[in-house]
Structure formats: structure tokens, C-alpha cells
Amino acid sequence: MIATLAAVAPWKAPTIDYHALLPEIILAVGLVVVLLVDLFLEERGKWLLSSLASFSFLGAFVPVVTLALSDSGARSMFDGRFVVDDFSLVLKGLFILVGYVVVLLSTTYVEEGDYYRGEYWVMMLTSVLGMVMMASSRDLVSIFVALEFLSIPAYMLAAWRKRDSRSNEAGAKYFLLGVFASAVMLYGMSLVYGATGSTLLVDIGASLDDSRMTSVRVLGIVFIVIGFAFKVSAVPFHTWAPDTYEGAPTPVTAFLSVASKAAGFVALVTLLYIAFPLASDVWQPMIWVLAALTMTVGNVIALKQTNIVRMLAYSSISQGGFILMPLAVAGTNDSAQSVLRAVVVYLIAYAVTNLGVFGIILAVSRKTRSGEIASFGGLFSYAPGLAALMTIFMASLAGIPPFGGWFGKFAAFQSLLSAGGGWAYTLAVIGAVNSVVAFGYYGNVLREMWMRPAPDGDESPINAPSPLVLALGITTIGTLLVGILPGLVTHFGDLASLTGAFGG
């Protein structure tokens, strides 16, 4: 009987492309090595762990480059549930490089604090591994697993300062609202699966179209979008972000504001482009409202902040609205590719700029021991180099040429205007007004640095540790390159074509 069954339905082992999986394999091996080495190292040798984490990220970046240069086309595994294409490679490279810069930002901070260093690096590597997996996931189950893989370590990292009540509050709020968002999203995924009979995004995309749109299908799409709106801190689902950003360790805040947010956008874009392209009448109005609200509310509340990390939390919320802005027209007039390019360009420009801002905050807080904007008073008088770099980063976030942020905003507005239509033009006007408003709180930081005296008249110099200096060098070069040589980042945006998107 067994022989008969084998003849009727022979089992075939799935073909696994280990070259395509090398980034994930190297990160997985790296986190296991860090965990095992931590068990046998004495306290005075714990500095080695940050080096191992750095080499893990750099090692994982190498196969990303080789895969991008191989020109072998998209590689599909597990019946199309895991795809390594140009889109996933560009985003994997971004996640890995962000992880490396965050290690540089964290090294001295962790060594000087009362932390369990081994677990810190393991959580960081695990979260980035989830992001890298997310970039290639093409199935509802694998997307959800990757999302939890990156989110659960982030919850623990937010509460890493165990003896600090604000850090505990940050972790608790992030965890509770994150779990709620996951539940809403999972319920939406279950409705979509029940309506289409598949969890594979390509199959869902073929089943969901406007002509066969039932209330169950609409509700499933709405719940999934709401779930990811929590993950990217879009208004009105943003309430966790300010307290979490302020209470978490500063390097963790940098990580959450850049890598975690980018991962949420990657998953959202993948779903909209592959699973829901024919249901654009359902999600485009939602994205439009979310983008307008997120830009406006984030900017208005940021104007009133006196703590720079909390201000950057609302700034991050507002920047998320600008990233959502082009997605509001992704299904209009064949604008899908220009919208995808705009999103990728904005994510790259935002990542290098925001990491640089947090690098300056870490350097200045080593001297002032304060997170207040007023603590940056007179920075130019005793640390002109840091003041100049902070000016570059603030101008970039505000979208002022020739720094990187201007081109991110330019690409977003260009995709809106090329799509055309009254709704697109209206959203573009809202975005333009918010761009002007944003300079109010970015300019406040610049005024403190250049025009105010140093607090308590203390103008002693700041000695930044070498890893922090390296991180600032990388982010500064990245911010300038994106702004001065926009063709370079546009190349990555054009390269990041999503296999299977909008029926392609």
C-alpha cells in the first residue's frame, strides 16, 4: 500500500537556493555565535560581542551585493512563498546597513550602562533577521511570522533599561499595542484566507478584484491595512510611538524609528502591490486619509515638544505620512512603478538622516545628560563639528536642498503629480503645507545650537567615542550623496521592481 501511495503521489523535496538564503543564514549563525560566546566570556571580554555583531551584519551584506550583481533574475522558493528579487535585495541591504550603524551607535552606550550585553546584540540580530525575511516573504503566513520575528525582540529592547520606570512603560505600551495590532491584522488575514482559499499573495491577487468584492473581503483588507498602520505609527494608530521613543534606550529608539518602520512599510507595499492590486478602490482612500492625518497631526504636535527625542517621535510619525503619500495613488494611471521608486528613495533618505540625528543626540547627551532641546544651546561654540552635522541632518529632514531629504520629498510629490487627479493634487497641497510647518520645529533646534548660550555656561568640549564618530561619518556621507547625487539613489529605486506586482 505504501508503494502504491508513493507511486501515485511521490514526495519531492523542495529545491532550496542556499545562495539566495545566505543573508538570512549568516545572520542566524551570527546571533547563535554571539549567544554562545557570551556564555563563556568573562565580563572584561564582553566588548568582543559588539564586534561579532558588526561582522555578522557586514558578512550578511556581502551575499546581498553578490546576488544583486549576479543578474540571475528573481529566485523563487517554497512554491513562490519566498522570493529573492531586486526589491527584496535593495531592502535587505538597507536593513543590514541600518543594523550595522545601530551597532556603532550602541557600542559605547551599552558598554557604559548596566546592561546584559550579549542578549542586547542577540535581540538586535534577531530583529534584523526578521526584517530581512520580511523583504522576501510572499505569503500571509510568512509575512506574519517575519513581522513577529522582528517585533518581539523590539519589545524587549524598548524595555532594556530594567531599572528605569520610563523604559518599562515604553516596553509595556509598545508590547500591548503591538499585540493588539497583530491581532487585528491576523483577523484580517484570516478573513482574506477564508474568502480566497489561499495564503499565497499571487493567488490572493488573482481572486480579489473590484467585480467580486464582498463585504468580508473588504473587511479583511481594511483590518490588514489598520494592522500595518499601527506598525508604521500612522495617525490615529500612533499613540504608542512618543512614549516608546522617549523611554527606550536612545540607540533602540533610532533602530525603531528607522528599521522597524521601514519593515512595516515593506510589508504593506508588498501586500498592496501583489495581494490587493485589483482592490485599489478599497485601500487607496484609506491610505489617502492616513497620509493626510499622519503628516498633519505629527507636525502640529511636534511644534509643542521640548524634549528632542519626543519631538523626533512626532517627526517620525510625520515622515511616515510623507512615505504613505505616494501610496495613495499607487493604483492610478499606471503609476505603480513611480510610486514604488518614491517609497524606496524616501526610505533610504530618511534612514541615513534619522540615524545621523540620533548619533548627534548620543554624542551631546554624553556631556549634558539631558534630552531637552534647550540642552543643545550654544553647541556651535564648543562643538562646531557636531553643530554643523546636526544642521545638515535637520535641513535634510525638513527637505531643504542639497541634502538627502529634499530628494525623498521630491520623488514623493513627483509621483503624486504624475498620477494626476483632484485627490492627488489635494494631497500634494497638504504635503507642501506640512513641509513648511515642519521647518518650525527643526528650525527651533538650529536656533538653540547657533543662537543660544550653552546651559550653565559650560563650554567644555565633547569627546565622542570612535564607533559613534564612524556612524556619524557614514550617515553624513549618505545624506550628502542622496542629496547631491540623486541619480545614485534613483538607480536603487528603479532597481527595486517588485516581482508579481500589479500582475507584472
pLDDT at 433: 93
468: burial class by Cβ within 10 Å (0-12, 13-18, 19+)? Answer: buried
E strand or H helix at 136: helix 117-136
Q: Where are the beta strands (DSSP E) in 303-434?
A: none
Grid cell listed for 33: 555565535
pLDDT at 313: 92
pLDDT at 95: 94
Q: For residue 227, is it within any domain?
A: no
pLDDT at 253: 92
Integer Cα distance of 188 and 171 in angstroms: 25
> What's this model's pTM, rounded to 2 decimal places?
0.91
E strand or H helix at 53: helix 47-70
Cβ atoms < 10 Å from Cβ of 87: 25
pLDDT in tens, 392-416: 999 999 888 888 888 889 888 988 8
pLDDT at 494: 61
Q: For residue 443, is it within any domain?
A: yes
436: burial class by Cβ within 10 Å (0-12, 13-18, 19+)? Answer: exposed
- Region at 501 (left for phi over 0; alpha for psi -120 to 50; beta for the rest): beta
pLDDT at 117: 72
Asked if residue 498 lies in contact with residue 340, where contact means CB atoms within 8 angstroms, the answer is yes
Q: For residue 414, is it within any domain?
A: yes
153: burial class by Cβ within 10 Å (0-12, 13-18, 19+)? Answer: buried
pLDDT at 11: 47
In the chain, the number of structural domains is 1
Q: For residue 5, is it within any domain?
A: no
Q: For residue 323, is it within any domain?
A: yes
Which residues is 84 bridged to in the sheet?
Answer: 75
Q: For residue 392, is it within any domain?
A: yes
pLDDT in tens, 187-240: 999 999 998 888 999 999 888 776 677 888 899 999 999 999 998 989 888 888
337: containing domain = 276-496
pLDDT at 2: 42
Integer Cα distance of 73 and 81 in angstroms: 16
Q: For residue 316, is it within any domain?
A: yes
pLDDT at 418: 86
Residues of the chain with pLDDT below 70 are 1-14, 114-116, 210-211, 333, 457-458, 489, 491-504
pLDDT at 497: 64
